[in-house]
Amino acid sequence: MLTRVRSVGIHVSDQQRALEFYTRVLGCELVTDQPMGEGPGAPRWIEVRLPRDETRLILFTPPGQEDRIGTFTNLILYCDDIQQTYRELSARGVEFPTKPERAPWGGWWATFKDPDGNEFGLRQEGDE
């Protein structure tokens, strides 16, 4: 039986810029950063994760999938306090196409973008 999600890919155009955004701005921890070939321009296998989660985010775009960069990812991240998270990330320059609002299905919802324009859902459960 399947038991959990190990990793999720995020399509990025510039791996170094993505690594800096996910670690410095979003607060992810670096798990691995390994070259996938020879030379300075070789792609890297980069994995990061949120401090309280084991699911890894893979910052890599396989050849032929460049058209996925800058789209809605269907990846939804949880936070404890969406208003505070919105204020902190906005102050760090993160773009929020949808500012925090009460969701019709319950709880709170917002969306934000990374430097490539990939869009993520941000969710807080509860009505607080």
Can 1-61 and 71-128 be said to share one CATH topology?
yes
The pTM of the full predicted model, rounded to 2 decimals, is 0.92
Residue extents of the structural domains in the chain: 1-61, 71-128
For residues 121 and 76, the answer to whether their CB atoms sit within 8 Å is: yes
Distance, in Å, from the CA atom of 33 to the CA atom of 82, rounded to the nearest integer, reads 30
In the predicted model, is pLDDT for residue 127 greater than 70? Answer: no
How much is the pLDDT for 31? 98
Distance, in Å, from the CA atom of 50 to the CA atom of 76, rounded to the nearest integer, reads 13
Distance, in Å, from the CA atom of 22 to the CA atom of 30, rounded to the nearest integer, reads 9
The full length of the chain comes to: 128
What is the pLDDT confidence band of residue 9, given thresholds at 50, 70 and 90? very high
CATH architecture for segment(s) 71-128: Roll (3.10)
Question: What CATH code would you report for 1-61?
Answer: 3.10.180.10
**pLDDT tens profile 40-81:** 888 999 999 999 999 999 999 999 999 999 999 999 999 999
Task: Retrieve residue 42's tokens.
Answer: 């070789």
Distance, in Å, from the CA atom of 110 to the CA atom of 5, rounded to the nearest integer, reads 23
